[in-house]
Amino acid sequence: MFREFKKEVEQVLKEALEKASYESKRPELEESEHADISSRVAFLLAQAYKKSPAIIAADIVNHIQIPAENTLISDAAAVGPYINFRVNDSYFHKTLQQLKEGTETETTRGEKGKVIIEHTSANPDGPLHIGHLRNAIIGDVLVRVLKRAGYDVETHYYVNDMGRQIAVVVWGAERIAFDETKKADHAVADVYIAANRMVEENSDLLKDVGELMRKYEAGDAAVVKKYETVVNKCLSGIQASLQRLNIRHDLFVWESEFVRGGAVKEVIEALKQSGNIKFDGSAILLKLEGIEKALVIQRTDGTSLYTARDLAYHRWKSSTSDRIIDVFGKDHELVSQQLTKALEILRVKAPEFVIFEFVSLPTGSLSTRAGRYISVDELIEKIEERAYKEVEKRREDLDEVKKREIAREVGIGALRYDMVKVSPDKHITFDFEDALDIEKKGAPFIQYSHARACSILRTAEARGFGVTDYDAPVSLLTERSEKELIKKLSKLEYVVEEATTALKPHLLAKYARELAESFNLFYKYCPVLNAEDELRKPRLVLVDAAKTVLSDVLHLLGAEAPEEM
RNA sequence: GGGCGUGUGGCCUAGUUAGGACAUGGCGGCAGCCUCCUAAGCUGCAAAUCACGGGUUCAAAUCCCGUCACGCCCGCCA
């Protein structure tokens, strides 16, 4: 409802500016603690019209006409240079009415077009570590938010199966047996680390690895088979980890498809046509505007490079979607720029990039090859265990299965929230102890508010207060905490929209926390079950509506919404 | 050397795209609140030269210039 309110204020303000003969490009609206929405447009006009902002603000307010009916605005007032707008009773009423049938609106089903989002895309040479985790969670929250905003979303995991490191694993797998007692991706990592050591100690072995790569690119059936076995083995382990985090991909796109399917050749051909190509011996280079070094897209020996394969991949994505989003680590930023320029040359829509800064350990940067990483599996294990202890402390009354279930939901929620709450362009030094410390204002805090709402509704039913009656008079909800909560509820769609256009998933985390805070204050100051009949009815409506939004926002963050904890 | 990003109370963090009303929260610290719907909650207190130095402006955490610190990138790797 906040979006509608904001739009109406914009309109009303625009009309008033015209009537008062002021010209301003923007309404200068901002959320404010002094009003429901506030305009600082008077500041901008002060210079041009050589009057004090306060006088202009008062003048504008005098020209403001709030519609007699069907409006969400209660009043507009000039407070010094600011013009403050407030919502009216119907705003509260409509907000709750809208939540009657849940929050799924008519825009929720793919009508904004198709967006392909690529995230995680860890090399299949070992398990996911905490760096991949940040990528996966930022990506997954965006997926959920975009769906909610009305996009038809397709999620891709781009499988780098043509790199040297995968060849090393395949080479190693010919000599070293996988430890079948281990989770598949961990077994692959063992082989990778061991094989890598062998290759490093004896550089003659590199020839074998190179031979494997050439045969794979050429499509040698036996080699392809070996690759597929190894890559699929690793991916199965990775997928299992992702599943525990409530993350799934629609499509696993293998790099090699673009080589053997001919798409890479086509891209190189198209680039040749463009005239931005130069040759260095038999190698092919692409000149890019504003980037000093030309990009090599084909080796002297004629084999393909990551860059060319990536171009083919993006050309394909572009042809089958309206919007492309790539979630990349900061180390890929230059690549993303090169990609953009190259796609421009191909006259193809470029992706939008969500670039996130690195996660490092207190001991230094992460490295799968050096075995220096914390795997996501280990992290999940430990955080669920920690959550279990917390549940046990509080709810000895529950049976084992239930306690485990809550611990899982709380643990995963906490982990995900922790990763998504900070802005992507902040560098993170990962501290195991900090992560395990189920933070007070993280996901469990929000889940707890939801559980409290559920508890009230459960008890209401048990006491025979009947179904929640959305026709109950909302006007009785006059307490400050009640009004604040409703206003907070009304902002979900607005936040979703902001997070979608700016591609900032952490906005959702912030909103979720604030929503839970609002609910907790309401809970504290407004008894529901013990209120008088007349008041209890609308309060139950508010609890029910809050439960809906809390649950929704938790799901948008990829966390569960437990009914009790 | 060049490019990108970050620097906000003891620690972590929001706000920087579009400059404006007392800089958002958390952790930790101190002091309180369970005869009342789950205390994973709530209330209060202490704690900030918004890295540093200039500049623009009526107004700067936010814009401009410079400096410093940290991270990442600058492969016929992926």
Interatomic distance A90 CA / B35 C1' (Å): 40
Interatomic distance A289 CA / B2 C1' (Å): 16
Interatomic distance A334 CA / B57 C1' (Å): 36
What's the rounded Cα separation, in Å, for the pair A511 and A528? 24
Q: What is the pTM of this model?
A: 0.94
Measured CA to C1', the nucleotide nearest A329 is B72
DSSP labels for A299-366? -TTS-B-HHHHHHHHHHHHHHT-SEEEEEEEGGGHHHHHHHHHHHHHTT-PPPEEEEE--EEBTTB--
Evaluate if the CB of A405 falls below 7 Å from strand B: no
In this structure, how many other beta carbons lie within 10 angstroms of the beta carbon of residue A272? Answer: 13
The A 50-89 residues near strand B by Cβ under 7 Å are 53, 79-80, 82, 84
Measured CA to C1', the nucleotide nearest A403 is B40
At A361 the pLDDT is: 84
At A51 the pLDDT is: 87
Evaluate if the CB of A283 falls below 7 Å from strand B: yes
Measured CA to C1', the nucleotide nearest A531 is B37
Interatomic distance A425 CA / B73 C1' (Å): 15
At A47 the pLDDT is: 81
Measured CA to C1', the nucleotide nearest A365 is B71
Q: A248: phi > 0 → left, psi -120 to 50 → alpha, else beta; which?
A: beta
The A 451-480 residues near strand B by Cβ under 7 Å are 451-452, 454-456, 459
DSSP labels for A511-565? HHHHHHHHHHHHHHH--STTS-HHHHHHHHHHHHHHHHHHHHHHHHTT----S--
Measured CA to C1', the nucleotide nearest A165 is B78
At A24 the pLDDT is: 84
Helical axes A130-148 vs A492-502, angle rounded to 10°: 120
Evaluate if the CB of A526 falls below 7 Å from strand B: yes
What's the rounded Cα separation, in Å, for the pair A259 and A534? 70
The A 207-246 residues near strand B by Cβ under 7 Å are none
At A107 the pLDDT is: 57
Give φ, ψ of A32 to 5 degrees. Answer: -150, 155
- Identify the residue whose Cα has the smallest distance to the C1' of B41: A520
Interatomic distance A433 CA / B28 C1' (Å): 14
Q: Provide block-wise average pLDDT over 10 residues at a time, chain A (565 residues).
A: 94 92 87 91 87 91 92 93 94 92 64 93 94 95 95 96 93 95 96 92 88 92 96 97 97 95 94 90 88 88 91 96 95 93 93 93 74 86 93 91 96 94 92 80 94 96 86 89 95 94 94 96 94 92 96 97 95
Measured CA to C1', the nucleotide nearest A304 is B76
The A 326-345 residues near strand B by Cβ under 7 Å are 330-335
Measured CA to C1', the nucleotide nearest A422 is B13
Interatomic distance A333 CA / B54 C1' (Å): 32
At A289 the pLDDT is: 82
Interatomic distance A418 CA / B77 C1' (Å): 32
A193 and A247 Cβ atoms separated by less than 8 Å:
no
A196 and A372 Cβ atoms separated by less than 8 Å:
no
The A 372-391 residues near strand B by Cβ under 7 Å are 387, 390-391
At A104 the pLDDT is: 61
Evaluate if the CB of A402 falls below 7 Å from strand B: no
- Identify the residue whose Cα has the smallest distance to the C1' of B6: A426
At A108 the pLDDT is: 60
Evaluate if the CB of A481 falls below 7 Å from strand B: no
What's the rounded Cα separation, in Å, for the pair A493 and A144? 13
Measured CA to C1', the nucleotide nearest A442 is B26
Please name each of the domains of chain A with its CATH number: 2-87 (3.30.1360.70), 115-122+134-360 (3.40.50.620), 376-556 (1.10.730.10)
Evaluate if the CB of A164 falls below 7 Å from strand B: yes
A156 and A332 Cβ atoms separated by less than 8 Å:
no
A155 and A249 Cβ atoms separated by less than 8 Å:
yes
- Identify the residue whose Cα has the smallest distance to the C1' of B5: A425
Measured CA to C1', the nucleotide nearest A526 is B37
Nucleotides of B under 7 A from a protein CB: 3-7, 12-15, 17-18, 20-22, 25-28, 36-43, 58-59, 70-78
Evaluate if the CB of A527 falls below 7 Å from strand B: yes
Sequence-separated (6 or more) residues with CB below 8 Å from residue A521: A481, A484, A485
